[in-house]
């Protein structure tokens, strides 16, 4: 039993317990959950084992996924019927299950949020961090053809990127403000500040929409449509700044 306990404990701590087999090379038998419970006595190790089982189950089910909140959330979500813009019932983080981007990105489409490739030089880069997918191309924007147009596109990209980055930072400010207000609300002598929390949530959501509106506008080639979007964005930005 001590040998089994050490073996199973090591496997659990190394996240290798799922599909674990007997340590004897000729034996392909897998220890059952009841057997592991009868051998391992540490509550901490058992808790890790149960988490490993849960992770394995979620990964095996195509209609299940974890909440994508980068701040951390252990909620399991059912993907069926959720699609774009599904809110976590635990942390209210809004995810997109149509692509691998960690949050809903309306009005930008899913194709805008992943691997970007230059139509002229085939350079690939990540929109989120602006780093190259492979470090083989030193210049993001200097394509060999139509240099003047490339320079204009570079300036246009920089303008939209600057606006997008600003709104992401402003959104982080709104999140931090909401967290600070929440901690103040926990003090018994302070009266309710629910209206301030609601304002912070609205501010956070508005900044997110403004940030991804920059992505949408950058890729939108319809002049008529982009004029309307820019006009609506300007109005939203005006009210958001006031808030």
Q: Which residues pair with 94 in a beta bridge?
A: 87
Residue 4: name the closest of 25, 16, 22, 28 by CA: 22
Calpha distance 193→195 (Å, rounded): 5
Secondary structure (3-state) at 68? coil
**Mean pLDDT of the residues in the chain:** 75
Residue of 117, 78, 85 lying closest to 101 (CA atoms): 85
Q: What is the pLDDT of residues 64-86, one digit of tens each?
A: 778 877 777 888 887 765 555 56
Q: How many CA atoms lie within 13 A of 56 on its CB side?
A: 13
Q: Count of CB atoms within 10 A of residue 168's CB?
A: 16
**To 5 degrees, how large is the angle CA 68–CA 69–CA 70?**
105
> Please, which residues bridge with residue 206 across strands?
none
pLDDT digits (tens, 9 = 90+) for 131-166: 555 544 343 333 333 344 556 677 778 888 888 899
Q: Please, which residues bridge with residue 95 across strands?
A: 86
């Amino acid at each position: 039993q001590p040998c089994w306990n050490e073996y199973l404990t090591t496997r659990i701590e190394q996240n290798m317990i799922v599909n674990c087999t007997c340590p004897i090379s000729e034996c392909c038998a897998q220890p059952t959950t009841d057997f592991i419970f009868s051998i391992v006595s540490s509550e901490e190790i058992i808790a890790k084992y149960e988490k490993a089982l849960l992770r394995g189950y979620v990964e095996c089910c195509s209609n299940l996924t974890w909440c994508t909140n980068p701040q951390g959330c252990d909620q399991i979500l059912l993907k069926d019927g959720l699609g774009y813009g599904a809110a976590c019932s635990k942390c209210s983080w809004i995810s997109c299950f149509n692509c691998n981007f960690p949050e809903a990105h309306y009005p930008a489409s899913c194709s805008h949020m992943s691997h970007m490739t230059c139509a002229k030089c085939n350079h690939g880069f990540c929109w989120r961090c602006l780093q190259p997918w492979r470090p083989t191309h030193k210049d993001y924007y200097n394509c060999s053809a139509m240099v003047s147009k490339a320079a204009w596109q570079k300036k246009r990209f920089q303008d939209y990127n600057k606006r997008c980055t600003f709104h992401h930072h402003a959104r982080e400010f709104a999140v931090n403000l909401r967290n600070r207000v929440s901690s103040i609300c926990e003090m018994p002598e302070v009266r309710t500040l629910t209206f301030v929390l609601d304002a912070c949530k609205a501010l956070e959501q508005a900044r997110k929409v403004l940030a991804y509106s920059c992505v949408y506008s950058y890729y939108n080639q319809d002049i008529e449509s982009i004029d309307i979007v820019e006009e609506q964005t300007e109005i939203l930005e005006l009210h958001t700044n006031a808030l």
